[in-house]
């Protein structure tokens, strides 16, 4: 039986069982969840970076957003609070929409 040892979406165990496969899984919380969610973020970023088609890239971005919302909640912030923080930071420092690419800073 293959081993995975990774955080998965909530319905994955149910889907695997519905397909008639045996599995072992457990619920994680607290610091263990944060550690595993960070690993999952890395996995999803890698999958996004490797995506060759826009459709696949957007699916990976959706996974990243889901993880980010979940982590924000684990840190004590709701989706709305996270969005308010994002918006405030965007207003104060800007977003990334214009594509500015900083090359050097310093005195002449």
Chain position carrying tokens 């977003």 = 95
Asked whether the whole model's pTM tops 0.85, one would answer: yes
Instruction: Compute the C-alpha angle 97/103/105, nearest 5°.
Output: 110
Chain position carrying tokens 């979940």 = 70
- pLDDT per residue, tens digit, the chain (108 aa), is 789 999 999 999 999 999 999 999 999 999 999 999 999 999 999 999 999 999 999 999 999 999 999 999 999 999 999 999 999 999 999 999 999 999 999 987
Cα–chain center distance at 27: 18
User: Using only C-alpha atoms, what is the Rg of the chain?
Assistant: 18
Give me the long-range contacts of 68-71 (CB less than 8 A, separation at least 24). 68/41, 70/37, 71/34, 71/37, 71/38, 71/41
């Amino acid at each position: 039986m293959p081993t995975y040892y990774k955080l998965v979406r909530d319905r994955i165990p149910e889907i695997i069982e519905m397909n008639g496969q045996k599995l072992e899984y457990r619920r994680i919380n607290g610091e263990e969840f944060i550690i595993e969610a960070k690993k999952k973020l890395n996995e999803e970023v890698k999958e996004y970076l490797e995506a060759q088609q826009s459709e696949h890239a957007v699916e990976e971005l959706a996974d990243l957003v889901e993880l980010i919302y979940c982590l924000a909640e684990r840190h004590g912030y709701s989706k709305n609070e996270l969005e308010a923080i994002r918006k405030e930071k965007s207003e104060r420092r800007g977003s990334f929409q214009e594509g500015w690419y900083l090359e050097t800073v310093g005195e002449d």
